[in-house]
């Protein structure tokens, strides 16, 4: 079968290389895996960094397209752009990964998942992916890992202005504009973006041929100012409005689904940070953030439900630089609240519609010759379910200047969601937190344009929250064990850049012995780009094996077939100011599904022009 051949090809490519990020060396990139700036080659955790050059070179249509198939990452989506998506990191649940925008949590206060589909690539400067539990640094939700999105920053010198417009299949149009300016002390960036299209028919059950269209528009602002060598402040804001059609919704009081539904709303985040160098070896950071998400469901022009998530958070961190490492002490506070309205006669009110959490944490990193040690400890106090303490310990040995061998152990937890504890439908206020224990080991290599990493992991999750099929009441019942290996590899030389990743895993439900739903045993991705003169050419292969799922009609067990999809792209730098680009997604018009009963994009063609002044 095609997807098996694609996965074998990926395995051979990865075995010979490692994952490079654009034209920069791995050691030049800074990440926040441990809530402080570090060289990526010094981080023990399994990480990936995608910068602005990578985003533009990929010509990805969405953050889901950009992330799909990378090491440890699977994403399922129920239709055209803007429809709901589920992120599975290292085989964990869709609400087991923490997503941040400029340090602000954007996971929903109700479902616990994050609306990745609402994050516009036009506003993103960099994406950092940290695989594996990070609860000892961030608290709840980070069982599978952390994805942090950094919005665009101003220019270091001068002023840059950009305009971009593109048009594609399904009457899709995209426009964006941005300005970046700055000097040695101050940087400013502002962006506007818009996208709309007719989309495609979301479900196979709808044979009317109607398309599920979408529209998104938003803005982003980033400002930073350095008052002197010791004090710097930055603020960031992001707003994205959306409206889209989708299928398979239930109007108020109905027991059968309909195919003509509309969802609309917005996502917005605001963040600020003050950095003060108190002493040469002592830095203090104060952070504050706010997040809102609104989602309204409508049918036949009438509102069916409205749900809003709100979050306020503040944090204080002290970093102490040592001769051979760094110590970190911090405290953070978070307040979540929910507003809910429903036309359903079966929906009640939230018994409790808010929660608070206070967390304190300590972290350390040391280097003793060829030996590297890191550790962290965190205690959280949640107003709804109580206390939880998590920790991590890691060790690495530098075999040669180019190779490291290491291992780590960590614990994590996921606090019960508001909707499960005190929501409008079946609830259980006695739910315990889902907890996890993770072991992993790695080998990493970096030399002469080759970079690579092999990571083996074993994550055991207890007290998974399941639902009674008759009453829909949640309860702690399931256990899962997820074992796997990640290979990431690539090579950069001259104009050629190869990036590849392959994940093989066994996400097992310990109660049934079956594989967890919507998770492939094997999946991967290959990106190849070549630059010559004023031209660039590129291709992406994304492939995955079969997945277990619930049948769209009968709700019984079924299997969704594996797939392999190829995207092609090219760009021509006509002048220093003008660039033309073109791409073909799903070039071979592959029919496949990410969720049983839901369609995916067929062959899609788009062309665009970018002006830079």
Confidence of residue 6 (pLDDT cuts 50, 70, 90): very low
Spell out the domains of the chain, with CATH numbers in brackets: 2-612 (2.40.170.20)
Confidence of residue 80 (pLDDT cuts 50, 70, 90): confident
Is 0.75 surpassed by the pTM of this model? yes
The per-residue pLDDT for range 244-300, each reduced to its tens digit, is 998 878 777 777 777 778 999 999 999 999 999 999 999 999 999 999 999 998 888
CA 516 to chain centroid, in Å, comes to 20
The per-residue pLDDT for range 87-102, each reduced to its tens digit, is 999 999 999 999 999 9
CA nearest to 223, candidates 212, 214, 213, 232:
232
Give CA–CA dist 31/27, Å, rounded: 10
pLDDT for position 46? 94
Q: In which residue are the tokens 């152990």 written?
A: 409
Q: What is the DSSP letter of 72?
A: T
The torsion defined by the Cα of 412, 268, 262 and 423, in degrees rounded to 10, comes to 40
Give CA–CA dist 181/97, Å, rounded: 34
Max distance between CA atoms of the chain, in angstroms, equals: 68
Give CA–CA dist 275/330, Å, rounded: 14
Instruction: State both tokens at 403.
Output: 């190779």
Give CA–CA dist 247/199, Å, rounded: 12
Q: Is residue 70 within 8 Å of residue 54, measured between CB atoms?
A: no
């Amino acid at each position: 079968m095609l997807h098996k051949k694609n996965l074998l090809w990926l395995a051979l490519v990865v075995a010979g290389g490692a994952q490079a990020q654009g034209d920069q060396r791995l050691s030049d990139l800074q990440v926040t895996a441990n809530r402080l700036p570090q060289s990526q080659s010094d981080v023990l955790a399994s990480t990936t960094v995608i910068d602005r050059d990578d985003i533009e070179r990929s010509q990805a249509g969405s953050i889901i397209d950009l992330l799909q198939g990378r090491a440890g990452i699977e994403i399922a989506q129920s239709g055209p752009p803007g429809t709901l998506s589920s992120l599975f990191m290292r085989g964990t649940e869709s609400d087991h990964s923490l997503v941040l925008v400029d340090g602000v949590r954007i996971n929903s206060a109700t479902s616990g998942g994050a609306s990745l589909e609402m994050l516009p690539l036009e506003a993103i400067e960099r994406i950092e992916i940290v695989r594996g539990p990070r609860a000892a640094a961030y608290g709840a939700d980070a069982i599978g890992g952390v994805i942090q999105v950094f919005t665009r920053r101003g220019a270091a010198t001068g002023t840059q202005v950009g305009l971009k417009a593109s048009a594609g299949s399904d009457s899709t149009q995209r426009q964006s504009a941005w300005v970046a300016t700055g000097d040695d002390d101050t940087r400013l960036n502002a962006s506007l973006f818009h996208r709309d299209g007719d989309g495609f028919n979301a479900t196979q059950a709808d044979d009317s041929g109607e398309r599920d269209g979408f529209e998104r528009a938003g803005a982003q602002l980033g400002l930073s100012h350095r008052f002197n060598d010791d004090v710097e402040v930055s603020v960031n804001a992001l707003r994205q409005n959306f409206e889209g059609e989708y299928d398979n919704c239930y109007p108020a009081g109905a027991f059968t689904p309909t195919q003509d539904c509309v969802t609309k709303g917005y996502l917005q985040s605001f963040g600020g940070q003050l950095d003060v160098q108190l002493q040469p070896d002592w830095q203090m950071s104060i952070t504050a953030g706010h997040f809102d998400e609104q989602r309204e469901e409508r049918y036949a022009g009438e509102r069916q439900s409205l749900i809003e998530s709100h979050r306020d958070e503040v944090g204080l961190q002290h970093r102490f630089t040592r001769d051979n490492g760094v110590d970190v002490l911090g405290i953070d506070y978070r307040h979540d609240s929910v507003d809910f309205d429903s036309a359903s006669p079966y929906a009640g009110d939230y018994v409790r519609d808010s929660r608070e959490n206070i967390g304190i944490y300590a972290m350390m990193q040391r280097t003793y010759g060829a030996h590297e040690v890191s550790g962290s400890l965190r205690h959280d106090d949640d107003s709804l379910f109580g206390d939880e303490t998590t920790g991590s310990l890691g060790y690495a040995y530098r075999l040669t200047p180019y190779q490291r061998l290491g291992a780590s152990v960590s614990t994590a937890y996921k606090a019960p969601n508001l909707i499960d504890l005190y929501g409008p439908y079946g609830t259980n206020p006695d739910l315990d937190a889902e907890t996890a224990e993770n072991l992993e080991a790695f080998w990493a290599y970096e030399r002469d344009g080759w970079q690579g990493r092999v990571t083996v992991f074993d994550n055991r999750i207890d007290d998974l929250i399941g639902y009674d099929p008759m009453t829909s009441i949640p309860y702690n019942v399931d256990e899962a064990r997820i074992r796997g290996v990640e290979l990431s590899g690539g090579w950069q030389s001259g104009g050629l850049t190869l990036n590849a990743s392959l994940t093989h895993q066994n996400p097992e439900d310990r109660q049934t012995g079956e594989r967890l739903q919507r998770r492939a045993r094997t999946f991967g991705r290959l990106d190849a780009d070549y630059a010559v003169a004023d031209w660039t050419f590129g291709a992406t292969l994304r492939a995955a094996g079969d997945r277990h799922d619930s049948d769209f009609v009968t709700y019984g067990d079924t299997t969704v077939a594996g797939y392999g999809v190829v995207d092609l792209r090219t760009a021509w730098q006509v002048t220093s100011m003008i660039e033309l680009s073109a791409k073909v997604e799903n070039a071979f018009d592959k029919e496949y599904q990410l969720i049983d009963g839901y369609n995916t994009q067929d062959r899609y063609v788009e062309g665009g022009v970018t002006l830079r002044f």
